[in-house]
Amino acid sequence: MYNFVEVAIASPLKNTFTYRIPEGQNLLPGMRVKVHFKNRIETGYTISLHNNPSDEFEIKPIEEILDEEPIFDERLIELAEYVSSFYLASIGEVLNKALPSGNFSKKKRFLDSSSHNRREVLLTQKQQKIFDDINATNSGAHLIFGVTGSGKTEIYIKLAQSCIERGRSVIFLVPEISLSTHIFHRIADVFGDSMILYHSGVSDTQRFENWMKFKKGEAKIAVGTRSAIFLQPPELGLIIIDEEQDYSYKEHSSPRYNARRIAFYRSIKENALLVLGSATPSIETMYAAQKGTIKFHHLKERYGDAILPDVEIVKLDSGTVISSRLRAYTDKTIKRGNQAVFLLNRRGFAPFVMCRDCGTVFECPNCSIGLNYHKNKGLLCHYCGFSKPLPDTCPECDGLSIVKLGAGTQKIEDLIFREFPDYRVFRLDQDSAKKKGTASLLSNSMRNGEVDILLGTQMVAKGFDFQKVTLAAVLLADIGVNIPDFRANEKIFSMLYQLAGRAGRGSEPGVVIIQTLNENLPIFKFLKEHDYLGFYRWELKIRESLEYPPFSRLARIVLRGKSEETISLCAETLASEFKRIIDEQNLKVQMLGPAQAPLFKVGKNFRYHIILKSKNLKELRELIAEGIKIQLKQTVYLEIDIDPVEML
């Protein structure tokens, strides 16, 4: 009989706290409780029971037990401890992230209809070979590298069927809400009511019911976005991560976890199969596959008779948004009864500078990262703080055609609507995707031929399979190439390659138009040839020379607050502490900054960041854990991001 319990609070505090269990109360690990904490009542999560109270302070009793039985099992508590340790967050924050909104006091009965499978999925000989190779292992990590439209989803379905037949459950991750709905409907005629959908776009009530249905084993396959990685079925057998390269799998609030890393950990701990799929795997994943850490499988051709589309690089004239070439292709496409997808990339918000004559983009000599233009400070590196005045002429060709790009891209959308007033345009971005029913409306409208042009941000490049799309276009490819991020080339290449994959998936061949101000960008050569492996080898050499991932590990510390002077001073103080620890302990950690973050002011908060780089992840995390113990102003908020994917 235990008298005391360790409780984790959903706050940045790393420690658990001891409370007394009320006499006669039944309490187990994994339950929610109400406790008195810092002069207020908070919800906490029970971690462990014991009879070893501390004599140093008064132990308060549990105020209220909220659950009749644990809502988290031992696996999830252990997983929360791992995530907490790896990402330097609190266990309470992790468990809070893993918990769906909804009323846990509800008692619902769910009917198990997992046996109601209908459509039979047939594989080609090459697909069957990959399925057999993966299915024979029942564990380990696998990468299916296949060109767009090669039939990766059919392999996923067969693997999921095999897993369910063995009495185990499947978590199927996709990067976006709209794509999860698209996939859900696409495979519903195979798995029927044995599926659940799990993401923030589902109502709180439905999300809770789906969470509970999967937990009880009354549904066997969960399709969802990154938070679905915390779902806890009776026995996990398979995790699928489609479009594994996508940065939407990274959480941007504490704990700043990456669902891909958690999937690796769970697959090992729970002896489950992990399958990653992509036409453009992340550099880190492809590197791991080449090293043999992940088993590699390659689909080189599109499914059926479909062929890869032709890619044209079109140079824009000054002030033009729609080239004559794109206008002609658009008219031709729609008059033939087909559809077009236009990509408007909004990643390149930070104004950068390039020479229109020779295509030179101004970069930091220390970091090989694009310099951003600031009105009062000239050209500035947001990694190390390097700056220099904006030159009057190009240092490469002495040309006078120096242009600033990246500002005002939102205006392009209005221009598109005016350019094509007679065509039916469907806009898909993060705002519209959050509206209930948007994904279903898009899917139905596209399939019924009620949309001529699908216009959207990055999400239109991901995973959609519309047979009538024969034209894909990016309006200005230069936006995003020079964002202050060492992954800029990878991100823009992946997005454009994925966009190209939306065209020509049906019986008619497709065309891709990439509009640009600089047709000499190296990535265009690889895009024209659909040559991901060539791009990978080129990018890997750059990463190796600069010791960026996968040849090192990164951590990013962001300080933010209302006073720029305070934030700047605290950033210098923290950087000095890091430097002291590095020098005293002879750590092989490189520090960049402190410097203004590229997004310097957000929501009235000023932001500085420090970037730490090392080949030893353990040293990196220990350095941060020790360094952040120093006292900073209470008005300064600290963000810790291990393995960041955004540096903005």
Most confident of 96-105, 107-116, 318-327: 318-327
| pLDDT at position 274 | 98
User: Which tens digits make up the pLDDT trace of 496-512?
Assistant: 998 888 887 777 888 99
Spatial separation of the C-alpha atoms in residues 474 and 492, rounded to whole Å: 11
Looking up tokens 């950990």, which residue turns up? Answer: 265
User: Which tens digits make up the pLDDT trace of 286-298?
Assistant: 999 999 999 999 9
Mean pLDDT for 612-638 is 93
pLDDT band at 113 (very low <50, low <70, confident <90, very high): very low
Which strand (E) or helix (H) includes residue 22? none
Higher pLDDT, 374 or 587: 587
| pLDDT at position 214 | 96
Task: Report the percentage of the chain scoring pLDDT > 90.
Answer: 59
Helix 259-269 with 74-87: angle, nearest 10 deg:
130
Higher pLDDT, 446 or 79: 79
Mean pLDDT for 183-203 is 88
Looking up tokens 């469907």, which residue turns up? Answer: 426
User: Which tens digits make up the pLDDT trace of 415-470?
Assistant: 778 888 899 988 877 666 667 777 778 888 888 899 999 988 777 877 677 889 99
Residue type, 24: G
Query: Taking 60 as the threshold, does the pLDDT of residue 110 lie above it?
Result: no
pLDDT band at 648 (very low <50, low <70, confident <90, very high): confident
CA atoms within 13 A on the CB side of 201: 22
Q: Which of 118-132, 230-244, 266-280 has the lowest mean pLDDT?
A: 118-132
Query: Taking 60 as the threshold, does the pLDDT of residue 475 lie above it?
Result: yes
Spatial separation of the C-alpha atoms in residues 257 and 454, rounded to whole Å: 32
522 close to 539: Cβ distance less than 8 angstroms: no
| pLDDT at position 433 | 63
Phi, psi of 586 (to 5 degrees): 55, 45
Mean pLDDT for 568-595 is 96
Measured at the alpha carbon of residue 458, what is the angle toward residues 453 and 464, in degrees to the nearest 5?
60
Phi, psi of 352 (to 5 degrees): -125, 170
Contacts of 49 (CB under 8 A, 6+ apart): 2, 4, 5, 6, 21, 27, 28, 29
| pLDDT at position 465 | 73
Looking at domain 553-642, its CATH superfamily turns out to be Ribosomal protein S10 (3.30.70.600)
pLDDT band at 349 (very low <50, low <70, confident <90, very high): very low
511 close to 329: Cβ distance less than 8 angstroms: yes
Query: 241 has which bridge partners?
Result: 173, 276
Q: Which of 46-50, 382-386, 408-412 has the lowest mean pLDDT?
A: 408-412
191 close to 260: Cβ distance less than 8 angstroms: no
Query: Taking 50 as the threshold, does the pLDDT of residue 125 lie above it?
Result: yes
Query: Taking 50 as the threshold, does the pLDDT of residue 109 lie above it?
Result: no
Q: Which fold has domain 4-98?
A: GIY-YIG endonuclease (3.40.1440)
pLDDT band at 350 (very low <50, low <70, confident <90, very high): very low
Q: Where in the chain is the domain with CATH 3.30.70.600?
A: 553-642
Strands 402-405 and 352-355: antiparallel
Query: 170 has which bridge partners?
Result: 221, 238
| pLDDT at position 352 | 64
159 close to 238: Cβ distance less than 8 angstroms: yes
**Residue-averaged pLDDT of the chain:** 87
User: Which tens digits make up the pLDDT trace of 332-346?
Assistant: 999 999 999 998 775
Q: Where in the chain is the domain with CATH 3.40.50.300?
A: 125-299, 310-348+407-544
| pLDDT at position 405 | 62
Q: Which of 43-47, 116-120, 600-604, 629-633 has the lowest mean pLDDT?
A: 116-120
| pTM across the whole model | 0.86
- CA 52, 56, 60, 66 dihedral sign is negative
Higher pLDDT, 305 or 287: 287
310-348+407-544 has which CATH code?
Answer: 3.40.50.300
CB atoms within 10 A of CB 179: 23
Task: Report the percentage of the chain scoring pLDDT > 70.
Answer: 91
266 close to 86: Cβ distance less than 8 angstroms: no
Mean pLDDT for 555-568 is 95
Q: Which fold has domain 125-299?
A: Rossmann fold (3.40.50)
pLDDT band at 413 (very low <50, low <70, confident <90, very high): low
Tokens of 79: 């997983």
Q: Where in the chain is the domain with CATH 3.40.1440.60?
A: 4-98
Query: Taking 60 as the threshold, does the pLDDT of residue 105 lie above it?
Result: no
Three-state SS at 50: strand
Per DSSP, 459 falls in state G
pLDDT band at 408 (very low <50, low <70, confident <90, very high): very low
User: Which tens digits make up the pLDDT trace of 423-435?
Assistant: 998 887 766 666 7
